[in-house]
Every structure is written in C-alpha cells, then in structure tokens.
Amino acid sequence: MGCQKLLLPFGATTIIERVIDQLLHSTVDKVLVVVEDARDSVAAALAGLPVTIAANPDYQSGMLSSVRCGLRALPDHCHAVMAALGDQPGITTKLVDELVQAFTAAKKGIVVPLYRGRRGHPILFLEHYRTEILTQHDEVGLRGLLRAHAEDLFELTVSTPAVLSDMDYPEDYQRELERLRQERATHHP
C-alpha cells in the first residue's frame, strides 16, 4: 500500500477503528489487537478504546505470527478465540454475531465463514487448539488447522463477499470505500 493501511480514512473513522468498532459492538467478550509495536501509530489510534494491545516484533513473518502473538497474550481461561483481520472493514457486527451463534449451535470446535464455496475470515475456534496453532502449520497458517480438523469444522454460509476481502493494494482500498458508499446509500437513501 505504501502507507499504514490500517489508518487510512474510512468514513468518519479509520480502517482499524471500523473493524474494532464492529467487534466491540458484537457479542464477543474481549478484543485483543496485535500491532507491530505497542508504541506504533496503530496502537496510538486505539488509545482509549476498551481493547488490549499486544506487540508482535515478528510481524513481518506473516499473519500466523500475529495470530500466535495474540494467542500467547490471551488469558488461560479463554473458551474460544475469533481471529479477525484488521484490514477487513467490510466485516460487520451482524456477521460476527452470526459466527458466534453458529459456533454455539453447531457444537463444532471451528467455525469459518463460507462465501460462494470459498472460506474466509474471521475464523472462530475453541481455545484447546491454541497449542496446535502455536506449534504447527508454519507453512500454511490457519488453513492447516482447518484441514487437520475437518470433522470439527462448521462452514457458515454467508451472503457477503467481505469475508474474502482484505486490503493489500490501493485498488482493494478503493473497493472497500465503494462498498461503504453503497452501504450508506442503502441505509440512507
């Protein structure tokens, strides 16, 4: 992107604040945000919000290193974990709540959203997978967990492509801004 994508403007807020707002208004109990450095600009932007910040000095290793950092920062008594992406501003409170409800109803250890046959994020999983995620699947990330435990996986069919969309390029950001414009036009004609 050429800049800190999480701090790009998104309506009256930023990308990361939009994602955090959706999580905070959902039924999840706590929100932990993994950042590059506890003193970086993303952490500063979140100051004052009811979130816990965890610094990942190994962030350049990829998403799995951030998931692992988050898992290490969680309390031991945690029942389940939702791994959400900070650059997925199309994720809504409603979607997060649907994942939580499916997790409870399906009685499976892993729930993943499915849009037109493709798996996306956020992913919700039982805490007992923590050690496995911390020690395995180095080359494939959380996809390895999904493959290893197909019998304990529930795929929640969703109606939004937002579960497949993160932001890596300027055109991705433009797509998300257009989605926001459409969302506002639909709700505020």
Instruction: Enumerate residue ranges in the chain where pLDDT < 50.
Output: none
For every residue of 32-84, DSSP letters joined together read EEEES-TTSHHHHHTTTSS-EEEE-TTGGG-HHHHHHHHHHHS-TT--EEEE-
pTM here is 0.93
Residue 51's identity, in one-letter code, is V
Question: What structural domains and CATH numbers belong to the chain?
Answer: 5-187 (3.90.550.10)
**What pLDDT, on the 0 to 100 scale, is given for residue 60?**
83
The residue type of 173 is: Y
From CA 108, how far away is CA 168, in angstroms rounded?
31
**pLDDT at residue 20 in the model:** 98
Q: What pLDDT sits at residue 85? A: 96
